[in-house]
Amino acid sequence: MDAETSKTYSGVSFGDAFRFWLVLGFISFGGPTGQISIMHEELVEKRKWISESRFLHALNYCMLLPGPEAAQLAIYIGWLLHRTIGGIVAGVFFILPSIVILWLLSYIYVIYGNVFWIASLFYGLKGAVMAIVAAAVLRIGKKALKNEVMWVVAGCAFIAIFFLKVAFPWVIFSACFIGLLGGKLYPAKFAVLRTANRNVSDVAQINDQTASPPHAKPSLVRAIKICIVSMFLWWTPVFLTAMFLGREHTIFREGIFFSKAAVITVGGAYAVLPYISQQAVEKYNWLQPGQMMDGLGLAETTPGPLIMVVQFVGFLGGWNHPGELPRLSAATWAALLTTWVTFVPCFLWIFLGAPHVEQLRSNRSLTAMLSVITAAVVGVVLNLAVWFAIHSLIPAPGTIDYFLLFLSVTFFIGIIRFSWNVVPVVIASGALGIAYRILS
C-alpha cells in the first residue's frame, strides 16, 4: 500500500477505514434505511469523518441510481476517503458477510426448513432495527428540515408514498424538478443543504470547506478505463456460464435477468422487489410464492442490503432447476452469479459518476435540487420506518407485540439519550429475542 493511500487528504487512515467497513458488514441490519442510519450515526455523528452536507450530497446522488442505495453510499464514501481501493473495500465488506450468512441460511432453509433459534434471533433483531431507523428519522430530519418549505416537502413525500402509493422514483424525480425550479425562484428557501449543520462540518475530517481530492477530478481517460474494466468484470462470469452450461440453463438465465434488473430498476430494494418477485415466481418459476416471502424475511433480518434477497432467489432457482449439476453446486453457482451481476454495476455507477457529482457541489441549482431531495428522503425514511413498525408490532389484525414494542422504545431512548453504540444494541436485541422465545 502506498503512502498516498494510507494517509489521505481526509486525515482518516486506511487501516481505520478498513476496520470500520469490515465491522459495518456484520451490523448493517434493517435494509437500506437501517444501513444508512448506521452509517450516518457512525461516520457523521461519532467518528466525524464526513460532514452532514457531504454525507447527504453523496446519499442524494445514490438515491438517483439504479441498485441498492446504501451499498452505493458506502462505496462513494470509501472512494472519497481512499480512492478506488477505498471504494472497493467499502463495497465488498458491505456485502461479503451477508453473502456468506445468507448462503448458509438458504442451505439450512432448503434442507431443514425454518430453524427455531435462527427465527428467534431474527425476531429479536426487529426491535433494534426499529430503534435505529426511528433515531435516523429524528437526526436526519433535524439537520435537513431547516425551514417550512423543507417540512412541507418531507410531509408530501411521506403522504405520497404511504397513503397514495406513489412509486419511489416518481417522488425523487418530482423533488428534482421542484428543487431546480425553487432554486431559481426562491434560493434562500430551497438551497439550504450547504448551510446545514455547520458545527459538525467544522470538525469533520471531510467538511464543507474541504476541497475535493485530486482523485475526484473527472477524467475522460479514467472514465473509459472504468467502463472497460467494469463491463469485463460484470459480463465475463455470465458468458462463462453460457459456455459451460448453455444459454437455456437456469443459472445463465438468472445472470441475464438480474443484469437487466441492475440497470432498469431505480428506487432501491423496495421499488424493485415487486418486479423481481413477479418475474421469478410467475414467469420463470424459479421458486414458489411462499418461498419468496421466506427469502424476503431472511434478507430483512440479516446484515447487508435488502436486495440480497436476489441471492436467495438465485439459490432456490439453482436448487430447484439444477440441470446436470449437483443441487448444491448449482444453487451455489446461481447464488454467487446473481449477487455478482447485481452489485458489480454499483461500483461502475459510483466510480464513473461521483467525480462529476463532487465537482458540482458548489453549483447553486444542484444544491437546491439536492436540498429538496434530502427533505423528500426524510419522508421516504419515515414511510419505511412506519411500514416496518406496523409489520413488526402488529403481526396480525387486532394484536400488538408488546415485547418488540418494549425493546424498540428502550433501544430508541438509549440511542438518542445515552448514545448507545449500534453494535451492542444489535447483539443484545438478538440475544433477548432468543431468550424471550425460549421462555414464552
Q: How far apart are CA 341 and CA 216, in angstroms?
A: 26
Task: Report the chain's mean pLDDT, rounded to a whole number.
Answer: 85
At residue 51 the predicted structure's pLDDT band, cuts being 50, 70 and 90, is: confident
Alpha carbon separation from 20 to 50, 98, 416 (Å, rounded): 14, 16, 22
pLDDT tens figures, 235-294? 999 999 999 999 999 999 999 999 998 887 665 665 566 678 778 888 899 988 767 767
Q: How far apart are CA 39 and CA 20, in angstroms?
A: 10
Alpha carbon separation from 141 to 36, 93, 164, 207, 300 (Å, rounded): 13, 28, 22, 19, 24
Q: Is 0.85 surpassed by the pTM of this model?
A: no
Other C-beta atoms lying within 10 Å of the C-beta of residue 26: 16
Quote the cell numbers at residue 149: 418549505
Mean pLDDT across 21-26: 92
The pLDDT assigned to 269 comes to 63
Identify which of 22, 34, 15 has the alpha carbon closest to the alpha carbon of residue 95.
22
The pLDDT assigned to 97 comes to 92
Other C-beta atoms lying within 10 Å of the C-beta of residue 236: 11
Q: Is the pLDDT of residue 350 over 60?
A: yes
Lowest mean pLDDT among 79-93, 96-110, 237-251, 414-428: 414-428
Q: How far apart are CA 81 and CA 354, in angstroms?
A: 13
- Alpha helices, DSSP H only, in 186-323? 187-190, 198-203, 220-245, 250-264, 268-278, 289-301, 309-320
Sequence-distant (6+) residues with CB within 8 A of 430 are 121, 122, 124, 125, 128
Q: How far apart are CA 425 and CA 314, in angstroms?
A: 32
pLDDT tens figures, 127-178? 887 887 788 788 778 877 889 999 999 999 999 988 998 877 788 889 889 9
